[in-house]
Amino acid sequence: MPLAPESRLHGEDLSQERFADLDLTGSTFEACTFVDVRFAGTRFEASRFMRCRFVRCHFANVEFRDSHFVECDFTDDAGHTGAHFSLSRMEQARFERCDLSFVRFERCDLYCLRLTSCNLRGSAFVRVEFSRGFSRKIVKWAGWMTDCNFEFANLNGLRLREGDLRESRFREAVLHQADLEDTDLRDADLTRAALDGARLARADVRGATIDGLNLQSLSSFEGLVITGSQQFPLLSAMGLDVHPD
């Protein structure tokens, strides 16, 4: 099957195709299946994937800038192995209503990545980059991961200042040393999230579930935005005996 830029494919099983170093810029894939495929040096810039299935796939040094994934599944039949993205450029890529359970993003450029209503249970973000340097003194962070499930995810050391994590669920996720200063965490669920050494200065957690969050374990929390009712569990976690008026 010939594959070229701006290809239009529907309902195809592409598991036997060779994708190494292919240029598929601007292509559209709908209801296609990829099983045990290794993508290396492939260009999917500005491509669109709708209701596609990726089983045990590995994306190495792949170009995903401005690509769009809608209702795609990146898990295997048992649901315990996800896709592996390494050294890939995903600037301004968008994922909507995708199952990214157990996916691993490693050393990827995720500047302006947008995840909406996705399942990332057990996922891992390892040495990823949400920032962009515009000069030696100007560095900007950008990323939107809203209404997503990060239960049991490994977000250790994640750096996403000024990000948008509204309504996402981080139950029992690992966020040690994460830098989330100035991040929007409104209505998020941080139940039993591991946040030792995390930076939450000026983050907005209004409406978030923060039971058990110990401010003393954080590296920064000055200017943390909370509601009046949230002060009681926060103070109790610090060992204070708080009584409402």
Domain ranges (residues) in the chain: 130-239
The matching CATH number, chosen from 1.10.10.10, 2.160.20.80, 3.40.50.800, 2.40.30.60, for 130-239 is: 2.160.20.80
* pLDDT tens digit sequence for 39-91: 999 999 999 999 999 999 999 999 999 999 999 999 987 767 899 999 999 99
Q: Which two tokens stand for residue 235?
A: 């103070």
Q: What is the pLDDT of residue 79?
A: 64
On the question of pLDDT at 212 being above 90, the answer is no
Tokens found for residue 76: 């295997």
Write down how long the chain is. Answer: 245
Residue from 105, 63, 51 nearest 83 by CA? 105
Bridge partners for 23 per DSSP: 43
